Amino acid sequence: MSSSPLRLLALAIASIMTLSVAAPAEAAKKKTQRQSAPQSRAAKARSTPRAAPRRPAAVPLPIKQDNAAKLNRIYDEYWDASMRLNPLQATFQGDPRYNDQLPNFLSAASRQQSHDFMVEWLGKVEAVGATGLQGQDLLSYEIFVRDAHVSLAGEQYPTWMLPINQYYNLSSIIAVLGSGAGAQPFRTVKDYENWSRRSLGIPPLFEQAIANMREGKAAGVVQPRALMEKVLPQLDAVIKPSAEESLFWGPIRNMPADFSAEDKARISAEYKRMIENRIMPAYRSLRGFIATEYMAAARSTDGMAALPNGRAWYAHNVASSTSPARSPAEIHALGEQEVKDLQARIDAVMKQARIRGSQQKAFNAMRNDRQFAFRDANALLASYADAGRRVNAAVPALFNEQPKARLEIKAVEAERAATSSAASYQPGSADGQQPGVLYVNTSDLPSRKRWAVTMQYLHEAIPGHHYQLGAQQELTALPRFRRLGGDVAYVEGWGLYAESLGQELGLYSDPYDQLGYLQTTLLRTVRLVADTGLNAAGWSRQQATDYMVKNADIPAADAASEVERFMALPGQALAYRVGEIKIRLLREKAKAELGDRFDPREFHHEILKDGSMPLDILEAKIDRWIASKKA
């Protein structure tokens, strides 16, 4: 989740992919909740960019202040220019200025334009340089330059030849936008007119996707057949014989009551023509191409290494989503060792608690025993409230600051329950007036387990996302490319690290709470091994599935869905656990170097106080902090 315009657009697009018709279950749902958070923050907060202080011409600014002011003006101009270049990104960020535009961002001309754009703005920033920069100004420079170089380095890999799979399905992006269930607003007459104009770009965009996939066929850069077989049902669910039966009729069914009769009639007629004569033919054309032409060329291989230059391509994916410090082979070995350590910890907890039988038997009981279920929605909500009281009493031992915004616990609205994870977080306002919200999904009660509540509270609320996103929300002077973005490895890594603090804080006193945390962490850790095994080490899909079943005790069907995710989004699942491990290692490093001067409260403040950033830049920042403490 880096900050270049192309990668921010990818983030925004990815945030709605799990709403597609045939989306796999829990892992993708979690991703939807988390990655949509920057959109919500963008819609709520707009701060005034900092301008250069006015001084008499004869008294120049010090270099430090002058460069910082120049760079902040450049960042502000860059953000506005990136919104103009990427109208979908603007929509996902809550910026309505370009809601009527849908450029052909898959075309060669658009790719060249994006390349030139990044080269231009990177050149402007590097021309000013980092001389004299400190604190947030230095971090902003480092993050911008790092992300721009990562974006440019990625251009050598033909991602544009693979525009569709069941996780990343262009047709699902359009369907969610046009159905009224996504970021595209449908509140005013102008909003309705905006979507009608934006829909003019759908046929050429779909035609370009087809053209790109044909180029991919010629170059041997094609999707696995196993993924594309899942795309056809997604398309079939969208394609309907009449406008009234389609998802795109949703805005008409939900048209605001205060529209005039004339506007209602005009818009309804226009939408019927738009859906039946413009949108549905584009969908049918795409579906026909995939079914009759592309499917025959789809590959039988599974991992990314089977593609031309695939190993280098995957290594780039890994570096951009985690940190350049670790190669796929290093992450694979790290994951194998972490799996062994976690399994040993699980055995130790079971032995201490006198839980008899195998790990598999214990986890099966935890999934199915009625003692771990809730009798009703109120009991589930009360359990989260109780966890909150226990956490609030414990966290002062490790944290000396908290966000201005208070935290509320609410049930997920019924209309969102089917696509929401068990728990999710919505940041409050920067001024603290609007609370952060921990949303608890009270639907499907049998799947909500008592042993998961404390762990989820730590991750989603305190000291997890409420502390991290809440702190970032208050940094209103940050450039928008930082304040409205974020790094997945940092954000989700912090969430997992917060879960791990439950043991240190004495919150996993119930052995089943501790086992639930360890088993969930084990699942996240086997992803490191299976993803890198599949995409870099030559594993087959079945090998990766078998490894996950054997080592994490999950059903084969769930493991197969996980592996399909690794095939569709190679390297994406690594960021979470790699981020957590990096934060843990930085803490161990600081403690080793500072000795008695180490205070975990100061360390946590240092991690959180500057907002999200890539892991390599975070490490350099913590190294500077350690050096300052030793001075």
What does the pLDDT read at residue 471? 87
What does the pLDDT read at residue 39? 33
Asked if residue 547 has pLDDT above 60, the reply is yes
In contact, 581 and 334? CB cutoff 8 Å: yes
Alpha helix (H) residue ranges in 47-107: 63-85, 87-92
**Tens of pLDDT along 234-292?**
999 999 999 999 999 999 999 999 999 999 999 999 999 999 999 999 999 999 999 99
Distance CA 196, CA 190 (A): 10
What does the pLDDT read at residue 62? 53
- Sheet with 423-426, strands from edge to edge, namely 407-411, 436-440, 423-426
**Tens of pLDDT along 203-248?**
999 999 999 999 999 999 999 999 999 999 999 999 999 999 999 9
| 80 Cβ neighbours under 8 A, 6+ residues apart | none
What does the pLDDT read at residue 65? 62
What's the whole-number average pLDDT of the chain? Answer: 89
Asked if residue 486 has pLDDT above 70, the reply is yes
Q: How confident is the model at residue 189 (pLDDT cuts 50, 70, 90)?
A: very high
**Tens of pLDDT along 339-356?**
999 999 999 999 999 999
Biggest alpha carbon distance in the chain? 81
Torsion of CA 400, 406, 407, 412, to 10 degrees: -150
What does the pLDDT read at residue 169? 85
Return phi, psi of residue 438, to 5°: -95, 110
Asked if residue 61 has pLDDT above 60, the reply is no
Asked if residue 128 has pLDDT above 80, the reply is yes
What does the pLDDT read at residue 64? 54
The rounded percent of the chain whose pLDDT value lies above 70 is: 90
What does the pLDDT read at residue 16? 36
Q: How many CB atoms lie within 10 A of CB 101?
A: 17
Distance CA 77, CA 69 (A): 12
CB-based burial, 178-195: b 16+ in 10 Å, e otherwise? bbbbbbbbbeeeebbbbb
Task: Name the pairing type of β-strands 423-426 and 407-411.
Answer: unpaired
Asked if residue 534 has pLDDT above 50, the reply is yes
Region 353-367: what's the mean pLDDT?
A: 92
What does the pLDDT read at residue 226? 94
Region 297-309: what's the mean pLDDT?
A: 96
Closest CA to 228 of 286, 309, 149: 286
**Tens of pLDDT along 614-623?**
999 999 999 9
What does the pLDDT read at residue 168? 83
Chain centroid to Cα 248, Å, comes to 26
Lowest mean pLDDT among 58-72, 228-242, 404-418, 468-482: 58-72
Region 532-552: what's the mean pLDDT?
A: 96
Distance CA 247, CA 591 (A): 55
Lowest mean pLDDT among 332-341, 425-434, 571-580: 425-434
Structure-model confidence comparison of residues 4 and 23, the more confident one: 4
What does the pLDDT read at residue 562? 95
Cβ-defined contacts of 338-342 (< 8 Å, 24+): 338/525, 338/528, 338/577, 338/581, 339/522, 339/525, 339/526, 339/529, 339/551, 342/518, 342/521, 342/522, 342/525
Region 323-329: what's the mean pLDDT?
A: 84
Closest CA to 248 of 220, 226, 268: 268
